[in-house]
Amino acid sequence: MSQISSTPPLKQGKPQGSAWTPIFVGIIVGLFLCLAAAASGWVAYIALGGQASTRHAYAAEVERHVQLKLNIVINQQGMQQDWPAYSPNKLVVPANSLVTVTLRDYDLGDTPLPQGSPFTTVQGTGNGSAIADGKAYASLSPEKVAHTFTIPQLHINVPLPGDGAKGASYDTVIFTFHTGKAGTYIFQCFDPCGTGSSGFEGPMVTKGYMLGTLTVQ
């Protein structure tokens, strides 16, 4: 005698799915869309932040422009008679900056440089030139030089003309240069404006006269 199973027969057709499946799918899709939106926002924030940082850095770089006033004087109180001198003879400027120097030379008069001297040419300045009393120049004739402003370590040289405007007691020379890393450098004159048979003694080798220091910090 055969036994009849108490298990109800399976229904034919498609198997029944869970009622929660659409809900899970919706949650996963929603999470994916949220993550995508957040990622897009973060990328945009970084991009804008980078642009802002670049703008701020560029602005800071542009604003780093220093103006220096420098004189060459002679026969000042407390100084050696007939010895020219830079005044001041200690300059301080920031690193990685643009420096504009306005130099007044009160010791006019030509002290010729030797023919072929490299110190007749403006070197290491903006556009390779300087401006004397409103006129730009890139070099001077050797016989028309009074002094030089030279920083050998920075490859900067500016010959200073000995002739000022008619009746003037000084001429004005303007030039620019860029500083690099921090350090202490010597600026000096390489025109034989000193004493001795060579013209390179006395003020030429004495600190506080035609020798000065530029501190970049």
For all residues of the chain together, what is the average pLDDT?
A: 82
Amino acid letter for position 117: S
pLDDT in tens, 15-71: 454 555 555 555 565 555 545 555 554 444 444 454 444 444 444 444 589 999 999
Nearest to 72 by CA among 149, 182, 176: 149
pLDDT in tens, 181-206: 999 999 999 999 999 999 999 999 99
Distance separating alpha carbons of residues 193 and 84, to the nearest angstrom: 8
Tracing tokens 């390179």 back to the chain, one arrives at 200
